[in-house]
Amino acid sequence: MKIPSLSIPVIILMLFNSGCNISTQQPRTENSLSIEAVSNAVSGRLSDAVVRYEGMTNNPRSLDEEGELDLVRPGDWTSGFYPGCLWYAWEIYGDSSFLQAAKSHTEILENEKLNGTTHDMGFKMFCSYGNGYRLTGDLHYKEVLIESAYTLITRFNETVGCIRSWDHNGNKWKFPVIIDNMMNLELLFWAFQETNDSIFYNICISHADKTMANHFRENNSSYHVIGYNPETGEVEQKNTHQGYAHESAWSRGQAWGLYGFTLMYRETGDIKYLKQAEKIHEFIFSHKNLPPDLIPYWDLDAPGIPDEPRDASSAAIIASALYELGTYVDAKNSEEIYEHANSIMESLSSENYFCSKNSKHAFLLDHSTGQMLKNSEIDVPIIYADYYFIEALYRKINSENADDTNQ
Ligand code: GLY
């Protein structure tokens, strides 16, 4: 599974040239960077990040309105993505400077293991400590992760059958559950495997089944927020918080759902989750407003399309999920799924999205959108886009390697 010894040019060549059947049906992005340029940009940008952020006790998230670096305290939901990028960088490129930086930017998050005020435990701790434990086997990391998982499940309500997402906006929702929360189940499945405590597994199944029943519309798009009554378990609201409208398809929400139900199938082998992931894939890629380069607008139903901002983060999450989903379906479907993932990666690697080497920051991807209607982080680099881009790259490399060994 690991491929630490490959050089960057080899990796990038594998990515774009070896068995990488970009669909001729999908218009290709103009002005794609050369393979050498992408290779240099990825390694150079991450090495630059290591130097710039060395010794910092907050991790990078985005750029503010003046274009200055926005750093976040450990409690922010995005705090684990930068260390996660560094762990993947160490795994792919094998440079020890990435390892040292990954450790220090991970370990500043340790106290979050006790923070029961948020559902974002998985984002924070599994991207950082989770990748760190996977790659180093450090037993202290394992302890931190198990404690994090026990903290997260304090937010589970048996009557509702879900983990509560937010504590804010109590005047709107008594017990909000957002589609993003599917992502935090990965930490709980890991904790089940490590501890054999079935509470983790049972909570994952309950949360996913309730989400499947209540978050999805007939057309397989998802609502962002479901408001439950914590005393009766009844659904009280079907809303959005970050999308254009309650009935619109917020792009990142669709991406979280695709990734979340793909991981549900991985962890359970239950075909109903695979079908759900396939239906989400079909919804996204048959949407009339998905642009030819496959990088979604921030909301697929935003009113000003085609003059709306894109969201590269949604595209990166989708690509990463598709590289996994493609391994679970039959050959005909997997071909289409990989074509979509490869086309997204080609677009994101082009100069239309990949940050110029002259940027005065160290992010990889531009053109993500955080919260459009709050006028926050619009059309800027955001760290979670970089994390899922690197993860997609890693998954792509592994799928190429698997193809090679199967020949
Ligand atoms: N989980 C918050 C977001 O996707 O913006």
pLDDT score for 160: 98
CB of 224 within 8 A of CB of 250?
yes
Work out which ligand 1 atom sits closest to the CA atom of 120.
Answer: 1
Q: 384 CA distance to ligand 1 centroid (A)?
A: 9
User: Ligand 1 pocket: which of 123, 251, 256 to mutate (most atoms <8 Å of CB)?
Assistant: 256
This prediction's pTM: 0.92
243: its two tokens: 């999308």
CB neighbour class for 360 (10 Å; exposed up to 12, middle 13-18, buried from 19)? exposed
The response to whether residue 252 sits with its C-beta less than 6 Å from ligand 1 reads yes
Work out which ligand 1 atom sits closest to the CA atom of 370.
Answer: 5
CATH no. of 8-38+156-402:
1.50.10.10
Residue 180 annotated in active site: yes
Cα separation, 321 vs 150, in Å, equals 26
Cα separation, 171 vs 182, in Å, equals 24
Extract the residue ranges of the chain whose pLDDT is less than 50. Answer: 1-36
CB of 296 within 8 A of CB of 315?
yes
CB of 112 within 8 A of CB of 123?
no
User: Ligand 1 pocket: which of 76, 169, 179, 180 to mutate (most atoms <8 Å of CB)?
Assistant: 180
DSSP for 52-81, please give it.
HTTT-SSEEEEE-TTS-EEEE-TTSTTTTH
Domain ranges (residues) in the chain:
8-38+156-402
Cα separation, 349 vs 93, in Å, equals 18
The response to whether residue 61 sits with its C-beta less than 6 Å from ligand 1 reads no
The response to whether residue 180 sits with its C-beta less than 6 Å from ligand 1 reads yes
Q: What is the mean pLDDT of the chain?
A: 90
The response to whether residue 119 sits with its C-beta less than 6 Å from ligand 1 reads no
Q: 288 CA distance to ligand 1 centroid (A)?
A: 24
Q: What are the tens digits of pLDDT across the range 184-231?
A: 999 999 999 999 999 999 999 999 999 999 999 999 999 999 999 999
pLDDT score for 283: 98
Residue 293 annotated in active site: no
Q: Residue 141: helix, strand or coil by DSSP?
A: helix
Active-site residue, selected from the candidate residues 64, 70, 138, 180: 180
User: Ligand 1 pocket: which of 242, 374, 388 to mutate (most atoms <8 Å of CB)?
Assistant: 242
259: its two tokens: 């990734």
122: its two tokens: 């998985």
Cα separation, 291 vs 339, in Å, equals 15
Q: 348 CA distance to ligand 1 centroid (A)?
A: 20
